[in-house]
Structure 1
Amino acid sequence: MKRSIISREGVGLSATVIQRRELYLSRVVTDLPTLVFVKKGIKSLRQNDLELDIKSGEAVAIAGAQAFDVINRPDHGEFEAEWIAFHPNVIRNYRPNIPGLNDIETAFIFTNIISGFSDAFRLARESITTDKLISDQVAIHRATEILIWLGEYGRKFKIPSTENISQKVRSFLSADPAKDWSAIEIADRLEMSEATLRRRLSSEHSSFSEILIDVRMSFALSLLQATDRSIGEIAREVGYDSASRFAVRFRDRFGYSPTMLRREASRDRNGTILDRVRT
């Protein structure tokens, strides 16, 4: 059975990660609110002074628009985790019945997971990944049930911001990383001048070029870890005609060359299907 990253429009994405070697990756971006169940091994997340270790049998809810240094540590030769990234509309349309829930600002670990939570997670994943006939209404209901369970632990995902220009830019670029994007084209789509776009990005401590590189490298990371495509093919899929220039960008971003990462992950890849959720 092929490992895959699969999306369902309006619901979210889901995948299984299997890794047999410990590997450190810097500033891995989680664009969408995501819940990760660790099945084997330990997942370590580092962000400034925050250090989280999620052990086998535990789960972590990660807020959207977060960047962590990530280490997946195998136990007895294997690390395995399953995750769901929620479509923004699922978060926006959820109306919790429990008052006073705390927003997940960065990440929150769930320990002592009960069977009901695990069952809800399994069904939500199935609604995204299965080829069975499951209606959109049922799929959204199952994804929302996960949010209800988070509420049982006193937590909820924050409603995605509509004011964050950086996230809006990431959304456009993520839809087609290979496209020859320009700041003026994005500014036109956002109905503002290029100068205004650059000024607003600067106020969020970002820039168009930084976001474009990060989106492309994050997509490349997924392809390197989960597909058998050549490095040259991956370079072209993220907008680089030169594989050597792509390799320099990738090493600058993650601290590993594409060749080294491919060699470390080569025993674990079985191919992938990768779709992206439009926000």
Structure 2
Amino acid sequence: MKRAIQSREGVGLAATVIQKSELYLARIVADLPTLVFVRKGTKTLKGNENEFVIREGEAVAIAGGQAFDVVNRPSGDEFQSAWIAFHPNVIQNYKPIRDDLENIESAFVFSPLGEGFTDAFRLATESITTRMNISEQIAAHRVTEILLWMGEFGKKFKVPSSETVSQKVRNLLSSTPARDWQAIDIADRLEISEATLRRRLAGENVSFSEILIDVRMSFALSLLQATDRSIGEIAKEAGYDSASRFAVRFRDRFGYSPTVLRKETSLTDRNGTILDRVRT
């Protein structure tokens, strides 16, 4: 079976991660509110003096914009999880039945999960990945059901609010990581001068080049973990014509070469695939 990160406009993204041995990955950013369902093995998230352990059959909801150190620990011969990242419109349009739900500030582990949640997660994933003729309205409804299940635990994702400048820059870069982005391009999009952009980013203790590299490396990591594309193809998707330069950047960021990570996350019947965008 070909693996891909698949997305549906206005609904969200979905993918499956398979890993053969334990690896430590530092400061992984969840740009969108995301729910991860661990099917085999154990996932550990560490950040801001918090630690979350998600065991087989459990799920974790991660608030958008959060960064964690991640350890995926296999059970037997592999670790396997599936995730859904929610489009902001889905979060914005969700109307909780209860008014006492607490916002998830960083992450929250859901356990125990009933059979109903498993069925809802499968249907939500299919609404993003399927080639069947499912309307966007039905797809959004299925994904929203996951939010309703979260409400059964008294939790919800925060409604998107005003973003920091660095978050706005990250979101713009994430739309097309391979583009030859320059700071002036982003400044124009934000309708400010380049000098103002750099000054505001400095006020948030980050630079344009740092954000660009991190967005590209995070995107490449997702492709390596959840698709069967070749490393050369992933390098180009991440904005690098030189596979060797890409490998150096990737090792600097995560401590592992793309080859090592691909070896640990590939299937024996790799066929190559694409990053699909599903449309109705």
TM-score for both structures, normalised by structure 2 = 0.92
The equivalent residue for 2:202 is 202
Shift of 1:207: 1.8
Structure 1 stretches of 5 or more lacking a match? none
Q: Superposition pairs for residues 163-242 of structure 1, below 5 Å?
A: 163-242=163-242
Rounded Cα–Cα distance in structure 1 between residues aligned with 2:65 and 2:276: 19
1:175 and 1:276 in contact (8 A); partners too: no
Structure 2 stretches of 5 or more lacking a match? none
- Bigger shift: 254-263 or 99-108? 254-263
Q: Deviations over 1:52-77 (max 9, x none)?
A: 11001111001111111111111121
Shift of 1:97: 2.3
The equivalent residue for 2:18 is 18
SS at match of 1:168: helix
Rounded Cα–Cα distance in structure 1 between residues aligned with 2:268 and 2:154: 37
2:2 and 2:228 in contact (8 A); partners too: no
1:96 and 1:148 in contact (8 A); partners too: yes
1:19 and 1:268 in contact (8 A); partners too: no
Shift of 1:227: 4.3
1:61 and 1:107 in contact (8 A); partners too: yes
The equivalent residue for 1:145 is 145
Q: Deviations over 1:145-204 (max 9, x none)?
A: 111111111111011233322222112111211211111110001111112212222233
Rounded Cα–Cα distance in structure 1 between residues aligned with 2:55 and 2:178: 36
Q: Deviations over 1:206-235 (max 9, x none)?
A: 221111000111122123334454434433
The equivalent residue for 1:65 is 65
Rounded Cα–Cα distance in structure 2 between residues aligned with 1:28 and 1:91: 22
- Bigger shift: 255-264 or 7-16? 255-264
Q: Which amino acid aligns with 1:47?
A: G
Q: Superposition pairs for residues 74-85 of structure 1, below 5 Å?
A: 74-85=74-85
The equivalent residue for 2:274 is 273
1:35 and 1:61 in contact (8 A); partners too: yes
Q: Which amino acid aligns with 1:175?
A: S
Q: What is the aligned-residue identity percentage?
A: 71
- Bigger shift: 118-127 or 33-42? 118-127
Q: Superposition pairs for residues 46-125 of structure 1, below 5 Å?
A: 46-125=46-125
Instruction: Indicate how the Cα distance of structure 1 residues 229 and 136 shifts in structure 2: closer, same or farther if over 3 A, else same.
Output: closer
Instruction: Indicate how the Cα distance of structure 1 residues 268 and 20 shifts in structure 2: closer, same or farther if over 3 A, else same.
Output: farther
For these two proteins, the number of residue pairs brought into alignment is: 277
| 2:256 maps to 1:261 | no
Instruction: Indicate how the Cα distance of structure 1 residues 79 and 232 shifts in structure 2: closer, same or farther if over 3 A, else same.
Output: closer
Instruction: Indicate how the Cα distance of structure 1 residues 187 and 80 shifts in structure 2: closer, same or farther if over 3 A, else same.
Output: same
Instruction: Indicate how the Cα distance of structure 1 residues 229 and 14 shifts in structure 2: closer, same or farther if over 3 A, else same.
Output: closer
- Bigger shift: 34-43 or 168-177? 168-177
SS at match of 1:14: strand
Q: Deviations over 1:94-117 (max 9, x none)?
A: 121211211111110001112222
Q: Superposition pairs for residues 239-254 of structure 1, below 5 Å?
A: 239-254=239-254
TM-score for both structures, normalised by structure 1 = 0.92
Instruction: Indicate how the Cα distance of structure 1 residues 201 and 248 shifts in structure 2: closer, same or farther if over 3 A, else same.
Output: same
